[in-house]
Structure 1
Amino acid sequence: MRDRLLATMATAALLTVGVAVPAPAAPPAAARSGRAAQAGATPSVPCPRAAAPAVSRPTRPSPPPGVARDRAVGGAALATAGLVVPPGAPAPPKTTAISWLVADLDTGQVLGGCGPHEYGTPASVQKLLLAATMLPRLDPKQVVTVTDEDMDIEPGSSAVGLVEGGRYTVETVWLGLLLNSGNEAANVLARLGGGVDGAAGGVREMNAYAHRLGALQTHAVTPSGLDGRGQFTSAYDLALIARACFADPTFRRYALTEVARIPAQPAQRTKGFQIQNENQLIYNYPGALGGKTGFTDLARHTYVGAAERDGRRLVATLLGAEPRPRRGWEQGAALLDWGFSLPRTATVGRLVGPGELSATPTPDPIPPAGAAEARPAAASGPAGSGRSKSWSVGVLVAAATVILLTGLSWRRRVARRNAS
């Protein structure tokens, strides 16, 4: 009788708190919703999609295998292929983007996203990683001579008009990169920053810097964002990179420059000409801070845009968008409007700090005072602290086990005494 009572007490303790078990690996996105329904789990909420005309495009490359740690950078609520928004937030605008994210550049709060850690192809928004990596390293007054290797870009791709043998200041090359998305300008800057290994060394430096920022899903193959095998990023990573860019006053000045002049090259018999910033956000959105546009047939339209309103600076990032019914910058502007409509305490996660992931284990994200706890849009009910729950389970399970074993041992001793 005593054995049964002790066993019942231990079992009750286990059933009351529950036992944490490892979660199975997430199935592919195409199969996730059906399996989730079978298992009784909450499926991810689909992102609001705007209808777009069908286009012919190359087959998307297969992304690297998903890593649970990488998908949870910034908070567990961000590890979803669907929509994640703060509790009670209004519906975000419909976009044609495959993934997007809105974040606060100053506090690092992530205000919402659609598949924020889903892999995507960057196109020319990758030039922001080049800028974040190389701007602090290169002297803007240095004069550089363009080489034949610098001019090795895909025919018909974006170029600012530098000429082989031409001599330009580094600042001019930066303006050619950020205003006109010059791919040859990207090659020049990567070569200068790559040391003895040239542009290849520059790309390695870009990848090392992305990792330091916490952009663990970003891998650059080309400095310009021209498509390359194994080249990926995510909407979350782009926000980390943009935050590093907008922390640099030189970048902020370049990003808001409307026009610049590429000087004549008498030795090459070329005239000077004027270039204009292609980011329409700076002309049409009050408080715009700038950003970067991008496009390849494979990546489709990509976009990063930032703006300031009432002392609050937000950034929106998009991957895989179509230009109709609204262009990429217009979809970014709509997301910025949505972000500014949310209270300052709204959050679903955070942007990690530079060096944080490589220096120490990433702590659980701490929302600002008064903020509702971050959770996926599909979640219902409060999300508790996994760490404190695990601790409580361990203590109670251990206590119940000790009680059970002690009782069994006592019974055996009594039995032996009776037998003798």
Structure 2
Amino acid sequence: MRHALAAVCAAALTLPAPALGAGPVSGAAPAAAAGRAEVPCPKPKVAPPPNRPAPPVPPPDDPVGSAIGGDALATHGLVVPAGAKPPPAVTATTWMVADLDTGEVLGGCGPHVFHTPASVQKTLLAATVIGKLEPKQRMTVVPGDLDIEPGSSAVGLLVGGKYPISTLWLGLMLNSGNDAANALARLAGGGGPDGVARTVAEMNATARRIGAYQTHAVTPSGLDGKGQFTSAYDLALIARVAFANADFRRYVLTERAQMPAQPHLKKGGFQFQNENKLIFNYPGALGGKTGFTTLARHSYVGAAQRNGRRLVVTLLGAEARPLRGWQQGAALLDWGFSLPRDESVGKLVSPEDMATAEPSPTPKPAVAPKAAVTDAKQDDPPRALSFLAAASVALVLAGAPLLLLLTQRRRRRPGRR
């Protein structure tokens, strides 16, 4: 039976990733919520921005994936603890607030709804490879590192420039440098021309390992790519892994940093500042990541601590008016901190939960065994895989015990839908 299950999962890995095209962001309601009235999420009364592009069509809802962390989370609407005060009205299409330490989900709006990530995907890059690269090691920028969408955010790396890897991380997290994302992904993937592709494959493997089954990365930076998606719930899982790393916590709390001069290129250095305004304006802020593309709109991941409690907020598909992404995050954090500590509507699954639930060995991505900062040629990158398809098949075939493990790890107090 175990061999048969492994064979089916292997077959699922060869399925193409769900295609994303123009169309509405909302799909059919999750099967777990069928027959139940959904509570609309509070929204401010503001006109939508002119010329907003049609969002990508998401993959169809997965009834199993939508209930990971608790069946109350399988909704496109609002889920909050019974009797809790209403959360603030925000423009975000989907959002969630959770406890970084206990993993309790305090509330959310469509926590498992698919959405494009923009630059908050850089938190997945960090969660995947930050431990592979030595911060003090120096690297040399190659032309491919600057192969980014014209007009997109860049920290200003120069071809031929030599930088400490710690500077790349600061450029990534403070200034949302897509050039830094490419450089870090290339290095972590072995340093060769296929390094970025290898790291993206590893990012997807990391997402699956921690239970973020609705996340599929196509670019390391979060620049839009066909088939790229995530969810507010998945972003909280990723943030929990990232914030467990001391270097990540230090980078995202850095207010400003210095880009070193490149005398051999006759270029001076310059200062850049953290774009996440939460750290300047919110008492107890722990940092986070902003994001924006015209297609994804504004996204945000932020964390803060208060009275010995650490909360994380994730939101996707927001507009900048009347509140910017970080301000919407701050309002939701305030709401979360106002709830009693025992309030919960679900649970963030842990990597240990997923290891226990794994029905068969997870194939390891073909990545370099040791990160390098050279341009040595690497083996051909692995063929793109549909991790969502594999996860769905594995979860369904695993049966009731697996569902109970992933969906029932929450407090008994029921949530309001």
Q: Using structure 1 for the length normalisation, give the TM-score.
A: 0.79
Corresponding residue for 2:348?
351
Corresponding residue for 1:319?
316
Larger relative contact order (Cα-Cα within 8 Å, sequence gap ≥ 6): 2
Does structure 2 retain, via aligned residues, the 8 Å contact 1:307–1:313?
yes
1:30 shift after superposition: 6.6
SS of structure 2 residue aligned to 1:102: strand
Structure 2: gaps spanning 5 or more residues: 1-24, 358-401
Which residues of 2 match residues 173-192 of structure 1 at below 5 A? 173-192=168-187
1:164-203 Cα deviation digits (max 9, x unpaired) = 1100010010000000000000000101111253101010
1:145 shift after superposition: 0.5
Which residues of 2 match residues 162-181 of structure 1 at below 5 A? 162-181=157-176
How far apart are the structure 1 equivalents of 2:169 and 2:203? 16
Give me the CA root mean square deviation. Answer: 1.7
Does structure 2 retain, via aligned residues, the 8 Å contact 1:349–1:374?
no
How far apart are the structure 2 equivalents of 1:32 and 1:287? 37
1:347 shift after superposition: 0.2
Say which of 67, 70, 75 aligns to 2:65.
Answer: 70
How far apart are the structure 1 equivalents of 2:310 and 2:103? 10
Residue type of the alignment partner of 1:182: G
Corresponding residue for 1:272?
269
Larger helix fraction of residues: 1
> How many residue pairs end up in the alignment?
342
Larger radius of gyration: 1
Following TM superposition, the consecutive aligned residue runs of length 4 or more in structure 1 with deviations greater than 3 angstroms are 28-33
1:269 shift after superposition: 1.6
Residue type of the alignment partner of 1:342: L
How far apart are the structure 1 equivalents of 2:62 and 2:39? 21
Go from structure 1 to structure 2 and tell me whether the alpha carbon gap of 1:191 and 1:342 turns closer, same or farther (over 3 Å shift): same
SS of structure 1 residue aligned to 2:143: coil
Corresponding residue for 1:52?
46
Corresponding residue for 2:124?
129
How far apart are the structure 1 equivalents of 2:26 and 2:146? 40
Percent identical pairs in the alignment equals 64
Which residues of 2 match residues 11-50 of structure 1 at below 5 A? 41-50=35-44
Residue type of the alignment partner of 1:334: A
- Tell me whether 1:256 sits opposite 2:259 in the alignment: no
Does structure 1 retain, via aligned residues, the 8 Å contact 2:140–2:162?
yes
SS of structure 2 residue aligned to 1:238: helix
1:328 shift after superposition: 0.6
1:116-152 Cα deviation digits (max 9, x unpaired) = 0000110000000001111111110111111100000
Residue type of the alignment partner of 1:76: D
1:367-411 Cα deviation digits (max 9, x unpaired) = 45xxx5233x23xxxxxxxxxxxxxxxxxxxxxxxxxxxxxxxxx
Structure 1: gaps spanning 5 or more residues: 1-27, 379-420
Does structure 2 retain, via aligned residues, the 8 Å contact 1:212–1:355?
no
1:270 shift after superposition: 1.1
Does structure 1 retain, via aligned residues, the 8 Å contact 2:69–2:409?
no
Residue type of the alignment partner of 2:66: R
How far apart are the structure 2 equivalents of 1:46 and 1:74? 21
Corresponding residue for 2:280?
283
Q: Using structure 2 for the length normalisation, give the TM-score.
A: 0.79
